[in-house]
């Protein structure tokens, strides 16, 4: 691959990293809001913010948090690998692919 293409891929990884951090921040806010409410009854009485995030405590929400965390780690690994190649000439792509293929099925465990 030429240097410009690799630079564009790294830029995409940086944007993905920023997006993962932002989504993680909002996920933390959702958890904080739902924990501040007492109990989990079928009557959803509470603040308007609680009404919006009440359904966020489902397996899909936890799966989404895992995906965000995985996306964050892979973005960091890709950016780190790019700069290691750029400055030191060491390429860890094979190791990153091995770790990715090993960890990705674990994301599906409930």
Residue 70 has pLDDT above 80, yes or no: yes
Q: Running DSSP on this structure, what letter comes out for residue 104?
A: G
- Quick one: tokens of 81? 């690998």
Q: Please state, in angstroms and rounded to a whole number, the distance separating the CA atoms of residues 79 and 45.
A: 45
Average pLDDT, the chain: 75
What's the average model confidence in pLDDT over 3-30? 80
Residue 39 has pLDDT above 60, yes or no: no
Residues in CB range of 90: below 8 A, 6 or more apart: 84
Q: Is the pTM of this model over 0.75?
A: no
- Give percent of the chain with pLDDT exceeding 70: 74
Structure confidence at residue 56 (pLDDT): 58
Q: Looking up tokens 């958890």, which residue turns up?
A: 31
- Give percent of the chain with pLDDT exceeding 90: 0
């Amino acid at each position: 691959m030429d240097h410009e293409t690799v630079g564009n891929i790294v830029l995409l990884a940086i944007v993905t990293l920023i997006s993962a951090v932002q989504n993680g921040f909002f996920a933390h806010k959702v958890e904080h809001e739902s924990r501040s409410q007492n109990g989990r009854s079928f009557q959803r009485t509470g603040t308007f913010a609680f009404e919006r995030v009440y359904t966020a405590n489902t397996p899909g929400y936890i799966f989404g948090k895992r995906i965000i965390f995985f996306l964050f780690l892979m973005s960091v690994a890709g950016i780190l690998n790019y700069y290691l190649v750029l400055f030191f000439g060491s390429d860890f792509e094979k190791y990153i692919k091995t770790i990715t293929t090993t960890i990705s099925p674990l994301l599906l465990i409930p």
